[in-house]
Amino acid sequence: MSEAPATLHARISQAAREVRATCPLAGSITNAVTVNLVANAQLAAGGSAAMVYLADEALALTQVGGAFYVNLGTLLPCHAQSIPAAARALRDLARPLVLDPVGIGLGELRGQILDELRDAPPAIVRCNASEAIALARQWGLLEGDEAQGPRGVDAQDAVDDARAAAQAIARFIDGAVAVSGETDLVASADRVVEVEGGSPLMTKVTGMGCSLGGVAAVYAAVTDPFTAALAAAAHYKVAGTRAQRDCAGPASFQLAFVDALHAIGPDELAAEAVLRERGR
Ligand SMILES: Nc1ncnc2c1ncn2[C@@H]1O[C@H](COP(=O)(O)OP(=O)(O)OP(=O)(O)O)[C@@H](O)[C@H]1O
Ligand SMILES: Cc1ncsc1CCO
Ligand SMILES: [Mg+2]
């Protein structure tokens, strides 16, 4: 990993160049609905993919991959062991974990696993606004009114409403949080950047968020968590904007989107990324 350049755009293009040059492996434990899109997006972005379910295999993958991705979307009994075991192994190796806490609040197992991850935390949390607020509450990171109240699993909150939660999580994990929506928000302990672009059709294809987490893990294999989260968010927004021009609806959008992820080079990515710094 070389030293990060000063500007955000330069950091993104350097990260994309390193991904293209090294084809980093990010292993995944991810949900059964969208596993194929996650792997295809990781390959199209320039990385390599390997999906597992069992603890034994997850532990082997943490040793060989540059980063690891965990998505709680469709839990099975084996995940009660495999996800915490992978997270602890990554913590001990000082290798980045990217977490998508899909469906936080649904049933008990998700909550148990997230309690365990508090002690072996991810480097990047990738989620929607409601999930960011729910995770910050579960980990006890909010105070006053913000700490109260039940939350569902849908993204009923606006991305901007999740800003305090995102920053609280980013500080707690000493990493980055990427909250997706019409405008994405990427937070580190001391910076908040908005990323514009994409398409409303991204909400009509399942797994756009899941696969964004997988691509963030590919980037996390070559750069720091904040740059990785920002590069992945920007790559998705630029690819989504392009894909919308060439499609007839959600199905052809997904194809055009994966093509665009693949076609966008590091310089184009930096040139077309629309970023707005919101505070540091
Ligand atoms: N209305 C929108 N306009 C533009 N881009 C959007 C819009 N909604 C979502 N996106 C983009 O779609 C991608 C996925 O974000 P989204 O918030 O839909 O994730 P998600 O709800 O976790 O998805 P899933 O759970 O289906 O994987 C991100 O790149 C985000 O920027
Ligand atoms: C639809 C769905 N259900 C569980 S995971 C998933 C994919 C989007 O998160
Ligand atoms: Mg999601």
Q: What is the DSSP string of 123-186?
A: SEEEEEHHHHHHHHHHTT---GGGG-S---SS--S-GGGGHHHHHHHHHHHTSEEEEESSSEEE
Q: Could you tell me the CATH superfamily of domain 8-279?
A: Ribokinase (3.40.1190.20)
Residue ranges per structural domain of the chain: 8-279
Residue 219 CA to ligand 2 center (angstroms) comes to: 23
Tens of pLDDT, residues 172-229: 999 999 999 999 999 999 999 999 999 999 999 999 999 999 999 999 999 999 999 9
pLDDT value of position 279: 75
Q: How confident is the model at residue 146 (pLDDT cuts 50, 70, 90)?
A: confident
Residue 110 CA to ligand 2 center (angstroms) comes to: 14
Ligand 1, closest atom to CA 183?
31
Tens of pLDDT, residues 94-115: 999 999 999 999 999 999 999 9
Q: What is the mean pLDDT of residues 238-257?
A: 97
For residues 121 and 51, what is the distance between their CA atoms, to the nearest angstrom?
20
- Ligand 1 neighbours by CB, cut-off 6 Å: 102, 128, 155, 180-182, 184, 198-200, 202-203, 206-210, 212, 236-237, 240
pLDDT value of position 162: 96
The token pair at 71 is 């998505």
Amino acid identity for residue 205 in this structure: V
- In the structure, ligand 3 is a single-atom ion and the residues with CB under 5 Å from it are 102, 209
Give the residue, out of 33, 180, 184, 235, with the most ligand 1 atoms within 8 A of its beta carbon, to mutate for a pocket test: 180
Q: Is the ipTM of this complex over 0.90?
A: yes
Q: Is 74 in the pocket of ligand 2 (CB under 6 A)?
A: yes
Q: How confident is the model at residue 143 (pLDDT cuts 50, 70, 90)?
A: confident
